[in-house]
Amino acid sequence: MTVLPFFSDSRLVDCRSRRFLPSSVLGRHYHRASDRMLHLHQSILLSGPRITHFVLPRGATAVTDTTVRFSMERSACCKEKLFASHSTHTPSSQSLACLASSEVHDPSTRKDDLTFHGVSEKIVGVLGGGQLGRMLCQAASEMAIKVIVLDPLESCPASAIAYDHMVGSFDDSATVEEFAKRCEILTVEIEHVDAATLEKLEQHGVDCQPKASTIRIIQDKYLQKVHFSRHGIPLPEFMQIDNLEGAKRAGDQFGYPLMLKSKRLAYDGRGNAVAKTAEELSSAVAVLGGFERGLYVEKWAPFIKELAVIVARGRDNSVLCYPVVETIHKENICHIVKAPASIPWKIRKQANDIAYDAVCSLEGAGVFAVELFLTRDGQVLLNEVAPRPHNSGHHTIESCYTSQYEQHLRAVIGLPLGDPSMKTPAAIMYNILGEEEGEQGFRLAHRLIGRALSIKGAAIHWYNKPEMRKQRKMGHITIVGSSMGTVEARLNALLSEEGGDCQSTDAVQLRVGIIMGSDSDLPVMKDAARILDAFDVPYEVRIVSAHRTPDLMFRYASSAKERGVQVIIAGAGGAAHLPGMVASLTPLPVIGVPVRASVLDGLDSLLSIVQMPRGVPVATVAVNNATNAGLLAVRMLGVGDPDLLARMSQYQEDTKEDVLTKAEKLLREGWESYLNP
């Protein structure tokens, strides 16, 4: 901890947290540091190091007219910290300030005179210090990458953990230019910045990622639509409108409902209005602030799901896509994200291809969020693109090998892109939105967080915003698990009035489904259940007839994957249609158990299972051998479960020891005594 004595108040300031420490700490730190401070103070007066900025405690006044906030250098290579000491040159007791070590504010000194040991020597500047900037800083800290932020709020979410925080407006040209001098790469966590300033900076050699041209395109939604239309990206039909007559012509052409949108400064549902009839056009225009705001219209997209793809583009033009997710909105604000989206593979590929093409049409490196509509007739249409990390990618922190935030840093710096694939079968992200204003809103949010702490697989992210407002994004919770059904059940438990019981939620987490055509098969199929009990594998047992209850069979097979089932064991006697029919309805592995019937000794069932047509595989075991079916299910699950695989190895070792024990007894006692103990 770096501390500075403020003699006027007999307290210490922790320069990293910028908070006053109690006077009781003074004795502990001051006497050890006093001689060293005096020596340093004399050195300052003699050598006159470059001191360009000050950081003041709240309530203190500045020595100069302009002050810029900064964090003290926290690098391991910094062997000395400079302290401001009390002297006759201090104008007043309130104007004392913590002096920055000179390497913090002189980029040339950083690059030429210091030794770096982090992943990258480059200092990344971020325009914006909201929750996205905060999570960028968190990812940066893991790789010792230095991230500084520019944000007008002194207590913005990123301020507490950024390497440096400059207080100022990120859409003010002069401020952005001053900020750019302190970093080697400039990026954004919000696209509503001054694109003209970025273009000017690029002309003077500043490295902006993504490029200013991309920011200019994206921040004007109408210009964005024109751009993607020219590149052949599928979009809802759109049209610029300048007056009410133009809006009515658009309504006649596109029909109703009609989506009206502001061209600029629109996000989280702001800047969108729907006119259900021609009579509602005037009120919709008024809601958006009038035609002088710059409006356009889109043909209503009859979507059944909203999808999103996070795309990473490196400096070498390498492009990687994260798995497609489904986004669910509440009052036009992203509320829940499901990863991966429950859509056919063909739709996933179509969504990935559109996202890939859209990002490739833009310039610069970084992470891009591509929002999409899935329509009733199976079309995937681009909604809009964000040139930065995005709400739809929050889940990647816990669910993917490389989070979108680490990926963005890799991309803009020029490091190799990381693996975007998911390391967990399913994840769900829930936005914590303000329910009430002020303290009551905080209490409700903290109550939800308290419940989340008892939910298995849940990770809590609180943005530490100082002010609570309705529908404001205050944090998020990500839940990971073995299936979408599992994580949805945990989320439902979290959101229930009672707060949920994670123990009871996990007790019903299924992994294997045991089904049979009739209760007459149960005496055989119970052996599979006993094996699963021995290995502590959760399962369910159901009677599902392929002939008598085909609708039930269809529903069971179609829903098994979403409910968390990973393997199905299907017993069948007689014609043995159940295993094959179920296998045709689910992508899950199916193990058929031929059950001996009153005739043919189960051979008909065995032959029926092994003669499934190409494309519908069904594994099988010997007649009546449900024990092996249970063991095979455990082995299948063990491929992705190290604990289960170890238990299977132990099971094999135990059976080996059992055989050796019997062999030794036979050898020792002889066969007659062995048979007649």
Percentage of the chain exceeding pLDDT 90:
68
CB 67 within 8 A of CB 56: yes
Burial of 541: CB neighbours in 10 Å, binned 0-12, 13-18, 19+: middle
Res. 29: pLDDT tops 80 = no
603 and 536 inside one domain: yes
Domain membership of residue 469 as a residue range: 426-495
290 belongs to a structural domain? yes
Q: What's residue 508's pLDDT?
A: 54
439 and 490 inside one domain: yes
518 and 592 inside one domain: yes
Domain containing residue 620: CATH number:
3.40.50.1970
597 belongs to a structural domain? yes
Res. 576: pLDDT tops 90 = no
489 and 521 inside one domain: no
Total structural domains within the chain: 4
375 belongs to a structural domain? no
Strand boundaries in 300-357, DSSP class E: 303-313, 319-321, 325-330, 333-339
403 belongs to a structural domain? no
673 belongs to a structural domain? no
Res. 57: pLDDT tops 80 = no
Domain containing residue 201: CATH number:
3.40.50.20
Res. 415: pLDDT tops 70 = yes
Domain containing residue 476: CATH number:
3.30.470.20
Look over the chain and give the mean of its residue pLDDT values, rounded to a whole number.
83
37 belongs to a structural domain? no
**What do you get for the CA distance between the two ends of the chain, in Å?**
77
Q: Predicted confidence band at 497 (pLDDT cuts at 50, 70, 90)?
A: low
534 and 618 inside one domain: yes
Q: What is the pTM of this model?
A: 0.75
Taking residue 467's Cβ as centre, other Cβ atoms within 10 Å add up to: 13
Query: Tens of pLDDT along 507-544?
Result: 457 899 999 999 999 999 999 999 999 999 999 999 99
- Of 251, 277, 300, which one is at a domain's C-terminal end? 300
pLDDT-wise least confident of 110-124, 198-212, 407-421, 652-666: 110-124
- Of 441, 470, 495, which one is at a domain's C-terminal end? 495
160 and 254 inside one domain: no
Q: What angle do CA 368, 370, 373 make, to 5 degrees?
A: 175
519 and 622 inside one domain: yes
521 belongs to a structural domain? yes
185 and 243 inside one domain: no
Q: Find all residues with CB under 8 Å of 271, minimum gap 6, and list them.
A: 221, 261, 262, 264, 265, 288
